[in-house]
Structure 1
Amino acid sequence: MRRSIFLLGILCSSTFALYAQNNPGSNHGNRFEQLGTMLQTPNMYRSASGAPGPKYWQQRADYDIAATLDDDKQRLTGAETITYYNNSPDPLTYLWLQLDENQHDAKSELQQINGSRMSDKMTMSAINNILREDKDLGVKIAKVTDADGKALPYTINSTMMRIDLAQPLMPGEKYRFKVEWSYNIPDRMTVGGRGGYEYFPEDKNYLYTITQWYPRLAVYSDFQGWQNKQFFGSGEFALTFGNFKVRMTVPSDHIVGGTGECQNYKDMLTPAQYQRWQQAQSSKTPVEVVTLDEAKKAMKSHASATKTWEYEASNVRDFAWVSSRRLVWDAMATNVEGNKVMAMSYYGQEAYPLYNRYSTKVVAHTLQSYSKHTIPYPYPVAISVEAANGMEYPMICFNYGRADKDGTYSEATKNGMIGVIIHEVGHNFFPMIVNSDERQWTWMDEGLNTFCQFMAEQEWDSNFPSGRGPAHKIVDYMKMPKDQLEPIMTNSENIINFGPNAYAKPATGLNILRETVMGRELFDFAFREYARRWAFKHPTPADLFRTMEDASAVDLDWFWRGWFFGTEPCDIALDTVKWYRLDSKNPAVNNKEAKAAYDKNMDHVARRKNKEEGVKYVVDQDTELQDFYSKYDRFAVSKEDQAAFNNYYNSLTPAEKKLYDSKKNFYELTFTNKGGLVMPILLEWTFADGTKEVDRIPVYIWRKNENQVTKVFAKDKQVTAVKLDPYRETADIDESNNSWPREATPSQFELFKGSNTPRGASTGDNPMRKARN
């Protein structure tokens, strides 16, 4: 395997015991050992600190594209000129391009490898995945030539195309070539996929989301050479940065939004729309550049004429666009770290009640929040498009959120829409700017982005119901059977539970690091440093792991090892609590306690009942049986005993007297690591006076014994209860063993009215009664 895969055979193992134990069979020397050979070896391209090395390099690809959208045949035709810059130290004899639209080809591997099954209810999309009757999907390459028009040999392997060069492209050289292509745009509502069209039969219009639409360069990097893994649907895209000039010819009544900045708005918009666009440049609230009434009017026109929108984008890794006559378009300016960014939204009438109120403001908030936690947003535009899905591209993303026919919507729909807009706009940072390889490591963009999404959601509304981020919300996944789990460090296509593994678990892990392990100050500095170092570059997991440690001085190898490379859950049990106090040696105190213990020991049921019944005791009736001990007070304090105590106390050093006078309580607690994943020990103490106190014991307490530890705590007040992980910070999968004394969690049962139906009477559904009624 390539060196970038981090010993993938090791990483994809499903239990801790299967990889990298330094001290097998021992209770220590495993979970806290350094990752060592599990990470790629530092070199001149990538340093041991996690920063780009002094000889770091990356390729560049510039695109000049002209495309025509056929609204009658739902077909896209294009021609592009690509200028490829070889900044690597390697001569290249061929180039790899991605043809991701070929995933829809009925003959593609994707259509063969995915399992399928029948059920009582089947959607059209599920049936299409079985029938594969859309036989004319996929990219049709018309021509590949060099800059002079000479044909270039090429080979298509499913979603990848290799172009063979007449002579090697040497380091420092650039190469210009041309590709002409076309494809039938799929109905993404039935065929699936990220791009395509949605048809609205009520007004006979289409909404086109054009994504993965042009042949584009794969990444050639220092850590893996060509990234030419096939596109199977889950693992998304590894792409090269460059500059784009794109011309999109569409029906003249369509509105187009895309990556970058439009160069000819004045020619594309009506004078009134252009005036509103100018107004939006300084507006702090969204301005409808294209109004709902204008969109409704356009929906009835179905113009046959065309017009060409011209867009340019600099230093982006991809280009996507939306085109439809159904679109309302609003925009406003937002200030991000001193730079003006146009926050914009495009949406149809069915989404108007939600998007007109929220979308653009959520876009602006997302930019502000992410810029605070990572790097300032560098692009001039950020767009949210309502398209009944969720997918991201530079400066533009496609989201969901439609109201009911009457214009109302549920709270769940509103919160879901806000969450998906934050998530997809947030992808501008990961991976559009911090450009990780999604084909190999989904979590590096989805997990990091979901973590930032959680912070942005909580900054939006303190009551926002974030589904991913809080530690306790990953518990159900963490305690699943081992055959349903795999490490986060698993190839995208091999993950069973994609959402929990690639989104929720890494986001939760980062949240645990920030709130519980490192603290916000150290974490935030290190996380911003990672974003700063790798903005507009191609980081790997090792670069993230090393940077987080390098910028914080916190050894986190134990955390990466357990949370990212393993599947063990956190389950720490509080086994025993023992209470100790200093022997006072004071007879006044000790004798009082001894008397209480004596009385308790002498007490039993027979003695109590005898007293209740008035039993006449022999020694009470016969006084001759009474002697010295009959009246002796064994717990009385003698002068000699008191003098001995005084001498003892006076002999104590000042430090010993301070401890003696403190009357401290000592509690010896024993903990067992039942789950395997080491975590800090968080304790909440409840005292006899009702007050509480929290102790936070660093994870390193497990270093010498990863299975069980014992620790003594000194408290000024008597303790009545102890609770582990009181704020549910560590994703502990079993809270029933977290308390002393044990807390019972009640189960529920339902009380229902009993039936008095006579034996043999008809029960259950009664179609005859329904028919008579």
Structure 2
Amino acid sequence: MPPPDPARIFAPLAWPDPVNVFRSGSGRRGPEAWQNRADYDIHVAIDPISRVLSGDETITYTNNSPDDLDVLWVHLDQNAYREGARANFATPAWHTHHTDGVTIESVTIEQEEHDTPIVPVISDTRMQLPLVRPLHKGEKYRLRIVWHLTLPGAWGGRTAVSPSQNGDIYEVAQFYPRMAVYDDLRGWDTLPGLGQEFYLETGNFDYSVTVPSDFIVAGSGALVNADDVLTREQRDRLTQAARSEQRVMIRTRDEVLAAVTAELPAPSPAPKTVDKAPAHKNEPAKSTPPAPKTKTWRFHMNDTRDVAFAASAAFLWDAARLDIGTQTVASKSDATPRLAMAVYPVEAMGSHGWDRAVSYVKHAIEDFSSRLFPYPWPNAVAVGGHGANMEYPGLAFEGKDEKDGQLFAMTVHEFAHQWFPMLVGSNERRNAFMDEGFATFLGTLAAPDFNQGEFAPKRDAEFAPTSGRPATDITALLRDPAAPVLMAPSDTVPETYRHPLTYFKAAYGLTLLREQIIGPERFDRAFRAWITEWAYHHPTPSDFFRFMSSETGEDLSWFWRGWFFNNWASDYAVAPVTYPDDDPAKGALVKVVNRGWLPLPVTLQVTWKDGSSARVRIPTEAWVQHNEVTVEVAGNQPVRTAIVDPDLTIPDIDRSNNSFGAILTVTPPTKAGP
């Protein structure tokens, strides 16, 4: 690259989204901000023989926008598994398992005077519903949709049916027709499902899941009919867990094995020959087996953008209380216990495996609640299954084979997503870094406090914060001319760069803001205020950039431009040290040269001949007009070394010229505090 141009680095930044009455210049919601709403009543049933999921749902959709809506748009994410779907071409590695997608049986607008059928127009993973009469501001429509789909197999991405030793595990998500978002930025936001996640409205959910009677169902929200589906002993154990800091087994290994044994079919008797007249053609066949017994599990969740569930006869189930204060719980009953829970198969048991999962969930939810914003929902459930490592409100799908640091890291990361984007509802399909990067950043804060830092992440300038994941060399990414930028549309980021960029560079950007640019006190206060301002709403990157600049009192345009809109990096160099009048007794003159386009604050350390040292902090403003500064350091003896960034706190892409008088050996620390 050419030498840094201060005029470009520090120029005013043009934001993608303008300030208006809906979104303010401070990054807060504007005085006329609005948001539509979708409330759901969903009933589904699983046929374990055919793996067909049948559904009947009613959506109460409220138009709070100033516009009349002549159509409604609904997401059908399961259509991504159809052969020929757009996702098959955009991200083929993610869509190797094919089904027929969603079959829509009927769509009806339910009104007091009469019901109006609608003929849907389906386009890939979207369904358009033309309305006979527009939906005006403040009005509601009750939309009933009847549908069914075949669940994908062991690799179905975010919905899967996978085997375990004692039965199939059903991980069911993005399974029901879901209202698209209509917002002030684009009207209907209907990006097709190509592999990125989702953008949905907030509402209240009542949903039920009918499954074979030996299944356990773990779902988003609160189980509201425990008396109907659990034994008295299991209910008593849940009550015990609500008072326990340690896990309590709700369903034990012995109970799983007993249930599986009870469900084994009895040997069929040998057929007998009977001499009798054939049955009348209208007489029902006497050999038809009885229908399998089922149970219906009912759940409720308030103020959520989505729900998901897992079901299996193979599940062990354990739980412990969540200690997260007295804030309002989004459930029907204030008496509902708030629990950290885990469900998983027998083969996942073990002191290095899922025996510790509840403790990981409990730590994540409690840490983030105290640090950020109180967790608003009744339960937090980790599911040990196929291993999609995918999060939904109140629930996360993880791998049953994960152990130790990997299981801890994935659990903390997935439950950090309860804040981003489940609570702060950013648009994952357009700006994935606002959920993946933010959640990765939260993991680096929570990990050092667990069990005296047992799984504390590696965190230094050469590697992005990883919360137990493999280290990502950020300087390699910054030196890569082909690397996309964080503000690139999510679907355009190649898989090669998805984790290094979307997860780790975004997380490291927040780390730099907190630790090097703003400071923990101001950053933490602003970050908490950001979450409070945008809880249950839809912020954009522009809103975040404006808010953090305003709330911290810093013009951060140069950082947003360099780190998010470009792939710029820091590169400092130290010139030979000189002395005023060539006299070391008069102090030292250290010339520092900026060769990078991201002028992060940096520390200069001067070490004198006798081993004593002094430090000077060079602020970003040093580079507003030029690329060289001469730092005067008081002293009375010759300088042994002068080093910029002696603690390796910034991502300098060329450290070979960072010192005078000694060659700096880069030996990153194995652990560091936040």
Tell me the TM-score normalized by structure 2: 0.87
Shift, 1:482, TM fit: 4.2
State the Cα deviation string for residues 9-45 of structure 1 (Å, max 9, x = none).
xxxxxx9x9xxxxxxx98422111221x334221111
2:556 paired with 1:556: yes
Shift, 1:714, TM fit: 2.1
Residue matched to 1:576: 576
Of 380, 384, 387, 1:386 maps to 384
Check the 8 A contact 2:513/2:519 in 1, yes or no.
Answer: yes
Shift, 1:457, TM fit: 1.1
State the Cα deviation string for residues 104-144 of structure 1 (Å, max 9, x = none).
1012011123467xxxxxxxx8xx83xx6x4x431111111
Shift, 1:236, TM fit: 1.0
Cα distance between partner residues in 2 of 1:394 and 1:712: 55
Check the 8 A contact 1:529/1:547 in 2, yes or no.
Answer: no
User: 1:295-374 alignment to 2 at 5 Å?
Assistant: 295-302=256-263, 304-339=292-327, 341-353=338-350, 354-374=352-372
Counterpart of 2:640, as a letter, is T
Cα distance between partner residues in 2 of 1:493 and 1:466: 32
Q: 1:115 to 1:378 in 2, by over 3 A?
A: closer
Residue matched to 2:603: 682
Of 228, 234, 237, 2:190 maps to 228
Residue matched to 1:185: 151
Shift, 1:469, TM fit: 5.5
RMSD: 2.3
Counterpart of 1:517, as a letter, is I
User: 1:24-39 alignment to 2 at 5 Å?
Assistant: 27-35=5-13, 37-39=14-16
Shift, 1:372, TM fit: 2.8
Local SS of the residue matching 2:361: helix
2:23 paired with 1:46: yes
Check the 8 A contact 1:401/1:414 in 2, yes or no.
Answer: no
Q: 1:314 to 1:26 in 2, by over 3 A?
A: closer
Check the 8 A contact 2:574/2:644 in 1, yes or no.
Answer: yes
Cα distance between partner residues in 1 of 2:43 and 2:596: 57
Q: 1:289 to 1:461 in 2, by over 3 A?
A: closer
Identity percentage over the alignment? 35
Shift, 1:580, TM fit: 3.1
Shift, 1:689, TM fit: 2.6
Counterpart of 2:11, as a letter, is E
Cα distance between partner residues in 1 of 2:650 and 2:522: 19
Residue matched to 1:155: 121
Counterpart of 1:326, as a letter, is A
Check the 8 A contact 2:241/2:320 in 1, yes or no.
Answer: yes
Residue matched to 1:377: 375
Check the 8 A contact 2:408/2:455 in 1, yes or no.
Answer: no
Cα distance between partner residues in 2 of 1:71 and 1:357: 28
Residue matched to 2:620: 699
2:165 paired with 1:166: no
Shift, 1:461, TM fit: 5.0
Cα distance between partner residues in 2 of 1:369 and 1:281: 18
Shift, 1:334, TM fit: 1.9
Cα distance between partner residues in 2 of 1:49 and 1:469: 31
Counterpart of 2:71, as a letter, is Y
Counterpart of 2:514, as a letter, is R
Shift, 1:466, TM fit: 5.6
Q: Which runs of 4+ in 1 moved over 6 A?
A: none
Counterpart of 1:491, as a letter, is P
Shift, 1:487, TM fit: 1.1
Cα distance between partner residues in 2 of 1:197 and 1:507: 32
Local SS of the residue matching 1:110: helix
User: 1:523-672 alignment to 2 at 5 Å?
Assistant: 523-580=523-580, 665-672=586-593
Q: 1:682 to 1:265 in 2, by over 3 A?
A: same
Cα distance between partner residues in 1 of 2:376 and 2:353: 25
Check the 8 A contact 1:467/1:473 in 2, yes or no.
Answer: no
Q: 1:59 to 1:559 in 2, by over 3 A?
A: same
Cα distance between partner residues in 2 of 1:677 and 1:400: 39
Local SS of the residue matching 2:200: coil
2:482 paired with 1:484: yes
Residue matched to 2:158: 194
Cα distance between partner residues in 2 of 1:746 and 1:100: 47
Local SS of the residue matching 2:577: strand
Of 189, 200, 209, 2:171 maps to 209
2:375 paired with 1:414: no
State the Cα deviation string for residues 622-671 of structure 1 (Å, max 9, x = none).
xxxxxxxxxxxxxxxxxxxxxxxxxxxxxxxxxxxxxxxxx854222223
Shift, 1:157, TM fit: 0.7
Tell me the TM-score normalized by structure 1: 0.76
Residue matched to 2:280: none
Q: 1:464 to 1:556 in 2, by over 3 A?
A: farther
Shift, 1:510, TM fit: 0.6
Local SS of the residue matching 1:536: coil
Counterpart of 1:446, as a letter, is E
Check the 8 A contact 1:344/1:384 in 2, yes or no.
Answer: yes
Check the 8 A contact 1:581/1:664 in 2, yes or no.
Answer: no
Local SS of the residue matching 2:84: coil
Q: 1:716 to 1:69 in 2, by over 3 A?
A: farther
Residue matched to 1:408: none
Structure 1 portions without partners, runs of 5+ = 1-14, 18-24, 117-124, 404-412, 584-662, 748-773
Of 76, 84, 91, 2:53 maps to 76
Check the 8 A contact 1:83/1:177 in 2, yes or no.
Answer: yes
Cα distance between partner residues in 2 of 1:31 and 1:80: 52
Check the 8 A contact 1:470/1:508 in 2, yes or no.
Answer: no
State the Cα deviation string for residues 47-93 of structure 1 (Å, max 9, x = none).
11111111111111011111000111111010101110001111000
Check the 8 A contact 1:69/1:77 in 2, yes or no.
Answer: yes
Q: 1:435 to 1:113 in 2, by over 3 A?
A: closer
Cα distance between partner residues in 1 of 2:660 and 2:262: 73
Shift, 1:273, TM fit: 0.9
Determine which structure has more spread, i.e. the larger CA radius of gyration.
Answer: 1
Cα distance between partner residues in 2 of 1:569 and 1:746: 18
Check the 8 A contact 1:63/1:244 in 2, yes or no.
Answer: yes
Local SS of the residue matching 2:41: strand
Residue matched to 2:271: none
Q: 1:717 to 1:110 in 2, by over 3 A?
A: same
Shift, 1:468, TM fit: 7.4
Cα distance between partner residues in 2 of 1:91 and 1:677: 46
Residue matched to 2:435: 445
State the Cα deviation string for residues 485-537 of structure 1 (Å, max 9, x = none).
11101111111200011110111011011111111111111111101100111
Shift, 1:356, TM fit: 4.7
Local SS of the residue matching 1:577: coil
Cα distance between partner residues in 2 of 1:41 and 1:80: 37
Residue matched to 1:240: 201
Check the 8 A contact 2:170/2:311 in 1, yes or no.
Answer: yes
Residue matched to 2:461: 471
Cα distance between partner residues in 1 of 2:84 and 2:326: 51
Cα distance between partner residues in 1 of 2:531 and 2:447: 20
User: 1:100-115 alignment to 2 at 5 Å?
Assistant: 100-114=77-91
Local SS of the residue matching 2:49: coil
